[in-house]
Amino acid sequence: MEDWRSCRLSVTDALAERFGLFIIIVLGENVTGVVDGLAHEPTNALTLAVGLVAVVVGFGAWWTYFDFAGHRLPRPTRASTVQWMLVHLPLTAAVAAMGAAMVGLVEHAHDSRTPAATAWVLCGGVAVVLCGTTVLAASLRVWQPNRALYRPLARTCVAMAVVCVAFGALRPAPLVLGLALVLLLGVPWGVAVAYRVSHEEESPVAAEDIRR
């Protein structure tokens, strides 16, 4: 029985690692989308600026997932395991959609407003990443011992997701939209950093949990 449990744990570890690697592969589509957009547009300062900001948005999705949920195990219950696995599906689809939207964002870098389809897909993708990561984190083993961090972090992510949808409706210029998304993705990260700094001396072990 003890050997069987060890085997099950090692498989879960391997599965978590592979899900993380899959997310990384899909995140590569963001870079591909930016490169594809730049390849079809004349190179100038504004186009390059939009492309750079778009790449940073992709990195924002990366740090959101891996800082708060990636490479962590779900609680050893059937419900948590199913939740952990199923939430990865819309999360991965959202990241892939963001990559597709990057092409339109760069191609329309000089427009006064971002095209509706591009704005909705990109902002919707970011919103799903924020909310999906929150739901995913709720299934993790580290949620309960670190709920003082994860609960305010969850509220922050949901609030930023709502603002993302609002920006999708407003459709500002591509550069403004990209900068806004970078800022919105950075807010939860800032909340986590503030928590780590304030609790590092008080509880070094708890501060390390979110890094693992």
- pLDDT at site 7: 39
Contacts for 182 with CB less than 8 Å, ≥ 6 apart: 53, 56, 57, 60
pTM of the model: 0.84
Cross-strand bridge partners of residue 140: 74
Q: Measuring CA to CA, how many Å separate 33 from each of 39, 51, 72, 94, 100?
A: 10, 9, 29, 14, 6
Which residues, 6 or more positions from 210, have their beta carbon under 8 angstroms from its beta carbon? Answer: 67, 68, 142, 146, 149, 192, 196
Strand partners, 74: 140
Q: Give tens-digit pLDDT for 10-61.
A: 336 777 788 888 888 888 877 777 777 777 767 789 999 998 999 999 999 9
- Given this model, what pLDDT does residue 12 score? 61
Percentage of residues in the chain having pLDDT higher than 90: 44
pLDDT tens, N- to C-terminus, the chain (212 residues):
444 344 343 336 777 788 888 888 888 877 777 777 777 767 789 999 998 999 999 999 998 999 899 888 898 888 888 888 899 999 999 999 998 898 889 889 899 999 999 999 999 999 999 999 999 999 999 998 988 899 999 999 999 999 999 999 999 999 999 999 999 999 998 998 888 888 765 554 444 454 45
